Amino acid sequence: MKTAETPFLGSNFSLGLRDGLPIALGYIPAAITFGFIAQTTGLTPVESVMMSLLVFAGAAQFMALSLLAAGTGSLEIIFTTFIVNIRHLLMSASLNENAMDDNPWKKAGYAFGITDEVFAVTATKEDSVHTGYIYGVFIISYASWVVQTGVGYAVGGLLPATIQQSLMFALYALFIALLAPALKRQRKVLVLAAASAVLNSLFSLFLDTGWAIILSTTIAATVVEWIAPAQKRPSGGTSTQRRST
Amino acid sequence: MSLHIMLIIVGMAVVTYIPRMLPFVFLKADIVPPRIEGILKNVPHAALGALIFPGALLIHDNVLFGLSGIVAAFTISFLGGNLITVVLGSIILLTILMPLF
């Protein structure tokens, strides 16, 4: 089922769809739970699906539901969303280093889809990341998130709690599957991930999730760059091969 | 559909989209200083560390549940499993282990 009408879509787009499939699967339990909680919070079906359609940010959406349930004011909910999602500024800046040069409008389009998971899949690619590829990963993940929100609203209550709990591990399994191959290749990856994991475990004791992730990621990335500056790649460096259109 | 909720949703959408969009539209990758570029290239693997820990350990009251999942996912990955295999494999294992927790 290909939707290749312009040249920049096509095979890179299909590859993106394929690599985004694990995210789409991983989003099923999360989105179903979201839809179900939205229903119990008293949102209408349209409001629930609209939130997934327009916001597309798992953690922030869950937080908004609990704040709504607690009767929190609108501005506070919006501000909390901003704080929780500001980490994507860092992730977008990082992905932008490896993404191929392209029309700013096309990049502004896929920017909407840079969730933690879409970032993790696209940013761990070795070479320059194609615009069509990012769109592929984004679209399949987004479709799953939105559709399953509706499903969760309708039938979420039917899913047994025990199965929900093991399904909740799906996204962590995805992150591990993205990290493990790089761990085998480079000592540096182990240091980065381990340092950031330890820092985040500490910071999340007293900081919001969003800030804890930003701080631990930035500190680990900066200290490792300071100790072991990135060498120019021996062959096939991406910076010299970056495509321009 | 209440206007109040719709305004909250639109507000959330705006403050979520802007930080995601700014770097792609306004940050020219080739004028970023090498040191900053080095840091930004370290971000994906550092972020993965923070996205996995401590979250994965906290999905169940008993941290051993998450830990079993972590061990399973790393093992399947190191054995060469692809993304889907790792995701499905560790979920199936956790579902089997669930009665123990």
- Give me the percent of chain A exceeding a pLDDT of 90: 65
Q: Give A6→chain B minimum CA distance, Å.
A: 21
Q: Which of B79, B82, B10 is nearest to A81 (CA)?
A: B10
- How far lies A47's CA from each of A42, A79, A117, A148, A175, in Å? 10, 19, 24, 14, 30
Q: State both tokens at A123.
A: 């940013």
* B37 Cβ under 8 Å from any chain A Cβ: yes
CB A139 within 8 A of CB A110: no
Beta bridge partners of residue A99, listed in sequence order: A129
Q: Give A15→chain B minimum CA distance, Å.
A: 13
Put simply, the answer to whether B24 touches A124 (Cβ < 8 Å) is no
CB A26 within 8 A of CB A117: yes
The whole-number pLDDT of residue A83 equals 87
The residue extents of the domains of chain A are: 11-167, 186-228
3-class DSSP state of A71: coil
The whole-number pLDDT of residue A13 equals 95
The whole-number pLDDT of residue A10 equals 67
Q: How far is CA B69 from the centre of its chain?
A: 15
Query: What's the rounded Cα separation, in Å, for the pair A15 and B28?
Result: 26
The H or E element spanning position A54 is: helix A45-54
DSSP at A205: T
Q: State both tokens at A37.
A: 């909680």
* A239 Cβ under 8 Å from any chain B Cβ: yes
Q: B74 to chain A: which residues are within 8 Å by CB?
A: 176, 180
Query: What's the rounded Cα separation, in Å, for the pair B83 and A217?
Result: 23
* A32 Cβ under 8 Å from any chain B Cβ: no
Query: What's the rounded Cα separation, in Å, for the pair A191 and B96?
Result: 33
Q: Is the pLDDT of residue A232 over 70?
A: no
- Mean pLDDT to the nearest integer, A196-214: 91
3-class DSSP state of A238: helix
Put simply, the answer to whether A88 touches B2 (Cβ < 8 Å) is no
Q: What interface predicted TM-score (ipTM) does this complex get?
A: 0.92
Put simply, the answer to whether A166 touches B29 (Cβ < 8 Å) is no
DSSP at A229: P
Write out residues 184-223 of A within 8 Å (CB-CB) of B: 184, 188-189, 192-201, 204, 212-213, 216-218, 220-222
**What confidence tens digit (pLDDT) does each residue in B30-43 have?**
788 889 989 999 99
Put simply, the answer to whether A217 touches B95 (Cβ < 8 Å) is no
Q: Give A109→chain B minimum CA distance, Å.
A: 8
Write out residues 53-82 of B within 8 Å (CB-CB) of A: 53-56, 59-60, 65-66, 69-70, 72-74, 76-78, 81-82
Amino acid making up residue A35? G
**What confidence tens digit (pLDDT) does each residue in A154-190 have?**
987 787 777 777 888 888 998 999 999 999 888 999 9
A6: buried, middle or exposed (CB in 10 Å: 19+, 13-18, 0-12)?
exposed
Q: For residue A142, which phi and psi values (nearest 5 degrees)?
A: -65, -45
**What confidence tens digit (pLDDT) does each residue in A94-134 have?**
999 999 999 999 999 999 999 999 999 999 998 899 999 99
**Chain B residue nearest residue A105, CA to CA:** B25
CB A192 within 8 A of CB A219: no
Amino acid making up residue A217? T
